[in-house]
Amino acid sequence: MKLPNQPENPEIQLVETTSGEVTLAIDGGQAMQAWERELMHETADILCTYGSVFLEVGLGLGLSALRIASNPGTQRHLVVEKYPRVTELFYERNPQVPASLEIVHADIFAYVQSIPEASFDGIFFDPALPPPVWDDDGLWDAFVPTLVRTLRPGGAFIPFFSTIPELRQQFVRFFDRVIVERRPFNAYPTTHYTPATSGDAYIQCFIHTGLDRITSEDVEKFKTKRAKEKKLAQGKKSKRSTTGRKPPKH
Ligand SMILES: C[S@@+](CC[C@H](N)C(=O)[O-])C[C@H]1O[C@@H](n2cnc3c(N)ncnc32)[C@H](O)[C@@H]1O
């Protein structure tokens, strides 16, 4: 599978300010901030209702990982993290972790191939990816079915919350059932990656019913339909001479 264009050795820093802001910075960008704690916990708690064996993509500050791993029902929580420095910083802050927590260093887009089918009851997907990666339709068309096959039927796939009340287009077509939970959020005054510093966040829980497996023919049909829609939208945009809204990280 094609790997997205991400830096191999970025500069990774944990930045703590006197006003109490905590930011994990990757190449100077805000990859994660501690104000997300409550939303991470909410997401983790929802995920844990789906079983006892989980996968998480992206360790970050480890807020969701610790919550999932310390849930009394959790037997195993595997976290795939691309950058070893992120894990070092995590262990400096959290020397004692639950026995169920296991962290591997890998790029999920490569590692996914090695995961056996129906291994997990739930997946929390929260990697910080450069914006062009989210727009790479071909990448998601190839990757999402490979990841979804690692869920048992009835398992849940939850991407990081959205601050826009729209189902995430990278995932929605691969599932027949979606449950959305709305929660308030309050970011830091310095947060760049949300459209506002407060508002509503939407936790989107995609359920792998087991009947929603799509064939490569379905993917082809979808691609054709989407290409037509894009062409149409571009035509409309250029007529109105406006620019499209860029989806923020969250
Ligand atoms: C937003 S943070 C995760 C936050 C986490 N949920 C928490 O509660 O702190 C994103 C993490 O994804 C990692 N990451 C980025 N790209 C990745 C990839 N391709 N594979 C695995 N991890 C990745 C980043 O290094 C970073 O640690």
pLDDT in tens, 200-249: 999 999 999 987 655 556 666 666 766 777 777 777 554 433 322 234 55
CATH number of the domain bearing residue 212: 3.40.50.150
Nearest CA to ligand 1 atom 2: 60
- Report the pLDDT value the prediction gives residue 238, as an integer from 0 to 100: 43
pLDDT, mean over the chain? 90
Q: Using one digit for the tens of pLDDT, what is the confidence trace for 164-214? A: 999 999 999 999 999 999 999 999 999 999 999 999 999 999 999 987 655
Specify if 193 maps to a domain.
yes
Atom of ligand 1 nearest to the CA of 83: 25
Specify if 248 maps to a domain.
no
Specify if 18 maps to a domain.
no
65 has a pLDDT exceeding 90:
yes
Specify if 216 maps to a domain.
yes
Specify if 26 maps to a domain.
no
* Burial of 28 per CB tally in 10 Å (0-12, 13-18, 19+): exposed
Q: How far apart are the first and last CA of the chain?
A: 25
Q: Using one digit for the tens of pLDDT, what is the confidence trace for 122-135? A: 999 999 999 899 99
Specify if 152 maps to a domain.
yes
Q: Calculate how far, in angstroms, residue 116's C-alpha sits from the geometric centre of ligand 1.
A: 22
Q: Provide the residue range defining the domain that includes 126.
A: 34-236
Atom of ligand 1 nearest to the CA of 40: 8
When divided into structural domains, the chain yields a total of 1
Atom of ligand 1 nearest to the CA of 61: 9
Q: Using one digit for the tens of pLDDT, what is the confidence trace for 70-126? A: 999 999 999 999 999 999 999 999 999 999 999 999 999 999 999 999 999 999 999
Of the candidates 154, 245, 167, 198, the one whose C-alpha atom is nearest the C-alpha of residue 39 is: 198
Specify if 99 maps to a domain.
yes
- Alpha-carbon distance values, 72 to 39, 55, 99, 198 (Å): 19, 16, 11, 32
Specify if 249 maps to a domain.
no
